[in-house]
Chains A and B, each alone.
Chain A
């Protein structure tokens, strides 16, 4: 990390970032091992790494996982923790925060502007942060417009694209544009050098790896032969239109006018190709950079856990750095205790007899007490089934990385910074 942005964090850093050891390390694994060795020396265990240390040594942290597991919440909680304990200027770039969470971060309206979370919000939580927390939301449409403005060769082309009827429709859909935009924005903000740490939330993708591939696909899209054909001058296409079955079919299905509209739009778009191709390469390099790490967030339900495992494998295959697996919304451990099973069974089986005992019913209607005991016992057995299944799931997921952090299922929704910090505390050390 460069000393840009706020100071104050360097004392917390272990120097890995710029040190010769890191420079030698070609990929995340080497860095891992180097750290492990050192950590083992100081802490006497090989699982000494924590999210605190991870965030202290990275510049970009990407929070990913399947929908609803808590990516957005966790990204915000960790950013708040980093601003509080590590100092410096920390940005959380969120994609789709719940209204409450947006309010907690002071994000009143959508838009790409970064806002500082007021110190009063920390004060209300009884915390004096060492650094500053900033937050921004991702506005896909606006980001696309910005991109066009940046890459268009001239004002005329720019306006022609922005006012094209197909533009909105197309920019919103092709090559996972939402995913691309998220990564593109990240690149933009990172190269501005304003922040010491950026914690990035990721969009709910159908396929969790889509956003990893987005920069590459964007590059491929712009250099594809088909795009070149489509955008070739209409005249040189005439011949082929009549000679190749595809053009004949496309023409009869879509009509030449529609094809013409599409072609016109893409020839405008094509003028931006060099900028896009170069840029998507840079975005990709940033993601594989050792200053970047990925957190895989998951609950212990079957489907998200399956997706998390898949994601971990994909990160590995792409040489991306898996920083931690965060298990969120985990049920309390007492539910798994097997010695409670006979107790719960007894409550169901002997409810009436138990409720008849005066020291148990304590003056309440014994019938009612019996029903309550029965419900309590049954409910426990139900939740125990879930907790046991989750614990198996956990054993599988916990095999993978160095850092596995667990956050409990919170009974109260997070609606302020204090709540975020409480959640963050659970996974920090």
Chain B
């Protein structure tokens, strides 16, 4: 089957992709990447692949999980991740975000409060406020990532971030806090956070999409909201789960003729079994690919022409575990021209 991650097949998906879209990216040269997208499109898959690729190239990399699902641990085949980063592959460290630990670290480092013992009820009370007060939880989360960047603990921080519905609120939180909170430590913190977040050379958002109707619509909406409501740069759109193209030029007509009854009979006789359903399956595959290509064209047309798009193949065999993560990393490397 034809590879789908090459520039050639990617371009076959949309009518006329602008040249800029195929230029290799500086993606991994940034310091902080937020990988987001609609639920289930492959945020964890892409984030784990990007981080593994960066680490394989020798970058000291931190990859962070934002939800409690544990999928990131599965991607590297390690047991449950914790707030304290752990080396899961050479040069690759993984952690799980949790706002209570983030708060504790923050209090210890920023306020020099040796509160660790009393932090239980404090955290519960704080949790309540943080849930009710806009932006507080978000700042604690994003703040941790940005802080790792500022302290130069890692060359690259990759965040397996929250889904489309929540990412804008998170990325916009420092500004929101800046407006809502007039004094206090939080406010003092937000200005350096904003400096790093707003710098395209350092920070970028990677939106993961898949070639389906709803994910495409949601990605377009998300791209617009990132542009309008946050100061963070949209670095790339990764289209995951791209089905392979079966036939090259002229071959589809050959396939159609091959389906004539007398030729199906002849072929079945020659292989010693009914090829009818096998040909049906190929037709299904062609249809699915074509439907997907239509949605991709919509996506490409709706995004800024200069925005980079990367294409990752649909993995037919089980798409979980370290082996799959390596395959995704390789596909990303190919797309990035590295």
Q: For B271, what are the chain A residues with a Cβ–Cβ distance below 8 Å? A: 343, 346-347, 350, 354
Residue from A252, A375, A413 having most chain B Cβ neighbours under 10 A: A375
Say whether A68 contacts B40, CB under 8 Å: yes
User: Nearest CB to that of A166 among chain B residues?
Assistant: B134
B66 to chain A, nearest CB (A): 10
Q: For A18, what are the chain B residues with a Cβ–Cβ distance below 8 Å? A: none
Say whether A174 contacts B131, CB under 8 Å: yes
Interface of A, secondary structure class, is helix
Q: Select which of B1, B257, B280 is within 8 A of A362 by beta carbon.
A: B257
Say whether B125 contacts A246, CB under 8 Å: yes
User: Nearest CB to that of A358 among chain B residues?
Assistant: B266
* A215 interface hit (Cβ, 8 Å): no
A360 in contact with B270 given A67-B39, A250-B126 (CB within 8 Å):
yes
Interface residues of A in 373-429 (CB under 8 A from B): 373, 375-380, 382-386, 389, 411, 413
Q: Select which of A170, A253, A362, A385 is within 8 A of B134 by beta carbon.
A: A170
A369 in contact with B254 given A252-B184, A253-B185, A360-B267 (CB within 8 Å):
yes
Say whether B267 contacts A342, CB under 8 Å: no
Q: CA A342 – CA B118 in complex, angstroms?
A: 67
Q: CA A254 – CA B136 in complex, angstroms?
A: 9
Say whether B214 contacts A68, CB under 8 Å: yes
Residue from B39, B132, B284, B285 having most chain A Cβ neighbours under 10 A: B132
B5 to chain A, nearest CB (A): 16
Interface residues of A in 343-378 (CB under 8 A from B): 343-344, 346-347, 350, 354, 357, 359-360, 362, 364-365, 368-369, 371-373, 375-378
* B183 interface hit (Cβ, 8 Å): yes
Q: CA A224 – CA B129 in complex, angstroms?
A: 12
Q: CA A236 – CA B243 in complex, angstroms?
A: 65
Binds B, one of A5-13, A114-122, A183-191, A333-341: A333-341
Say whether A68 contacts B38, CB under 8 Å: yes
* A42 interface hit (Cβ, 8 Å): no
Q: Count of chain A residues with Cβ under 8 Å from any Cβ of B?
A: 75
Say whether B1 contacts A364, CB under 8 Å: no
Q: Select which of A302, A347, A359 is within 8 A of B263 by beta carbon.
A: A359
Q: For B136, what are the chain A residues with a Cβ–Cβ distance below 8 Å? A: 254
Q: For A359, what are the chain B residues with a Cβ–Cβ distance below 8 Å? A: 262-263, 266
Residue from B133, B136, B246 having most chain A Cβ neighbours under 10 A: B133
B300 to chain A, nearest CB (A): 18
* A106 interface hit (Cβ, 8 Å): no
Residue from A303, A357, A376 having most chain B Cβ neighbours under 10 A: A376
A335 in contact with B184 given A254-B129, A385-B316 (CB within 8 Å):
no
Q: For A369, what are the chain B residues with a Cβ–Cβ distance below 8 Å? A: 254, 258
Q: Select which of B115, B134, B213, B278 is within 8 A of A413 by beta carbon.
A: B213
Say whether B246 contacts A375, CB under 8 Å: yes
Q: CA A302 – CA B71 in complex, angstroms?
A: 12
Residue from A354, A360, A378 having most chain B Cβ neighbours under 10 A: A360
Q: Which 5 A-B pairs have the closest CB atoms?
A: A255-B184, A359-B266, A343-B273, A67-B39, A169-B134
**18 A-B Cβ contacts within 8 A?**
A169-B135, A174-B131, A250-B129, A252-B111, A257-B182, A257-B183, A304-B40, A332-B280, A334-B277, A335-B277, A347-B275, A354-B267, A357-B266, A360-B270, A362-B263, A380-B282, A383-B284, A413-B213
> What residues of chain A have their CB less than 8 Å away from a CB belonging to chain B?
66-68, 98-100, 165-166, 169-170, 173-175, 204, 206, 224, 226-227, 230, 245-246, 249-255, 257-259, 261-262, 266, 302-304, 332, 334-335, 337, 339-340, 342-344, 346-347, 350, 354, 357, 359-360, 362, 364-365, 368-369, 371-373, 375-380, 382-386, 389, 411, 413
> What residues of chain B have their CB less than 8 Å away from a CB belonging to chain A?
1-2, 38-40, 67, 107, 111, 113, 115, 118, 121-122, 125-126, 128-129, 131-136, 163, 165, 169, 176, 180-187, 212-215, 217, 244, 246-248, 250-251, 254-255, 257-258, 260, 262-263, 266-267, 270-275, 277-282, 284-285, 287-288, 291, 316-318, 320
